Amino acid sequence: YSGRYFEILEKRKNLPVWVHKEEFLKTLKENQIVLLVGETGSGKTTQIPQFVLEAVLNENPSSGPKGKKWLVGCTQPRRVAAMSVSRRVAEEMDVEIGDEVGYTVRFEDCSSSKTVLKYLTDGMLLREAMADPLLGRYKVIVLDEAHERTLATDLLFGLLKQTLVSRPDLKLVVMSATLEADKFQNYFTGVPLIKVPGRLYPVEILYTREPQRDYLEAAINTVIQIHESEPPGDVLVFLTGEEEIEDTCRRIASKLGDQVNVMPLYSTLSPAMQQKIFDPTTDAVRKIVVSTNIAETSLTIDGIVYVVDPGFSKQKLYHPNTRVESLLVSPISQASADQRAGRAGRTQPGKCFRLYTEKSFKELEKQTYAEILRSNLANTVLTLKRLGVENLLHFDLIDPPAPDTLARALDDLYHLGALDDECNLTKTGEMMSEFPLDPQMAKMIIVSPQFNCSNEILSVSAMLSVPNCFIRPRGEGQKAADKAKSMFSHIDGDHLTLLNVFHAFLQHNQNQDWCYENFINYRAMKSAVNVREQLVRIMSRFQIKLCSPDFNSRDYYVNIRKALLAGYFMQVAHLERTGNYLTFRDKDDQVVHLHPSNCLEYKPEWVVYNEYVLTSRNFIRTVTYIQGEWLVDIAPDYYKPANFPNSEAKRVLQRHCKKRRLSE
Give me the least distance between CB of 362 and Mg ion, in Å please.
Answer: 28
Give me the least distance between CB of 370 and ligand ADP, in Å please.
Answer: 20
Give me the least distance between CB of 85 and ligand ADP, in Å please.
Answer: 6
> Looking at beta carbons only, is 20 or 386 nearer to Mg ion?
20
618 forms bridges with which residues in the sheet? Answer: 614
626 with 609: CB under 8 angstroms?
no
Q: Cα–Cα distances in Å, from 553 out to 158, 456, 641?
A: 51, 14, 34
Residue 302 interacting entry, from ligand ADP, Mg ion, none, C-beta within 5 to 8 Å by type: ligand ADP
The DSSP letter of residue 75 is E
413 with 423: CB under 8 angstroms?
no
**Contact call for residue 340 and ligand ADP (CB under 6 A):** no
Residues from 561 through 620 that contact ligand ADP (CB under 6 A): none
**Contact call for residue 86 and Mg ion (CB under 5 A):** no
> Looking at beta carbons only, is 119 or 470 nearer to ligand ADP?
119
Among 27, 50, 75, 84, binds ligand ADP (CB under 6 A): 84
Closest CA to 620 of 459, 496, 520, 494: 494
Q: Which helix (H) or strand (E) holds 380?
A: helix 378-386
Span from 85-93, 164-172, 254-262, 656-664 in contact with ligand ADP (CB under 6 A): 85-93
The CA angle 195-8-286, to the nearest 5 degrees, is 90
Residue 41 interacting entry, from ligand ADP, Mg ion, none, C-beta within 5 to 8 Å by type: ligand ADP
612 forms bridges with which residues in the sheet? Answer: 620
624 with 633: CB under 8 angstroms?
no
**Contact call for residue 343 and ligand ADP (CB under 6 A):** no
Span from 43-51, 382-390, 470-478, 509-517 in contact with Mg ion (CB under 5 A): 43-51
Give me the least distance between CB of 81 and Mg ion, in Å please.
Answer: 7
> Looking at beta carbons only, is 294 or 447 nearer to ligand ADP?
294
Give me the least distance between CB of 216 and ligand ADP, in Å please.
Answer: 27
**Contact call for residue 45 and Mg ion (CB under 5 A):** yes
Size, binding site for ligand ADP by CB under 6 A: 17
Q: DSSP labels for 195-248?
A: EE---PPPEEEEE-SS--S-HHHHHHHHHHHHHHHS-S-EEEEE-S-HHHHHHH
Give me the least distance between CB of 435 and ligand ADP, in Å please.
Answer: 32
> Looking at beta carbons only, is 59 or 302 nearer to ligand ADP?
302
Give me the least distance between CB of 413 and Mg ion, in Å please.
Answer: 34
Of the chain, the end-to-end C-alpha distance in Å amounts to 77
Give me the least distance between CB of 617 and ligand ADP, in Å please.
Answer: 39
Residue 330 interacting entry, from ligand ADP, Mg ion, none, C-beta within 5 to 8 Å by type: none
Residue 84 interacting entry, from ligand ADP, Mg ion, none, C-beta within 5 to 8 Å by type: ligand ADP
Long-range Cβ contacts of 281-284 (<8 Å, 24+ apart): 281/234, 283/232
Site string for ligand ADP, 7-46 (x = CB under 6 A): --------x----------------------x-xxxxxxx
Residue 15 interacting entry, from ligand ADP, Mg ion, none, C-beta within 5 to 8 Å by type: ligand ADP
Specify the amino acid at residue 71: L
Coil, helix or strand for 276? helix
> Looking at beta carbons only, is 248 or 298 nearer to ligand ADP?
298
Coil, helix or strand for 174? strand
Among 278, 514, 522, 556, binds ligand ADP (CB under 6 A): 278
Using CB atoms within 10 Å of the CB of residue 160, give its burial: 0 to 12 exposed, 13 to 18 middle, 19+ buried.
buried
Q: Number of H helices and number of E strands within the chain?
A: 25, 21
Largest CA distance in the chain: 82
Coil, helix or strand for 265? strand
Phi, psi of 219 (to 5 degrees): -65, -45
Residues that bind Mg ion (CB under 5 A): 44-45
Using CB under 6 A as the criterion, which residues of the chain lie in contact with ligand ADP when the complex forms? 15, 38, 40-47, 84-85, 87-88, 278, 300, 302
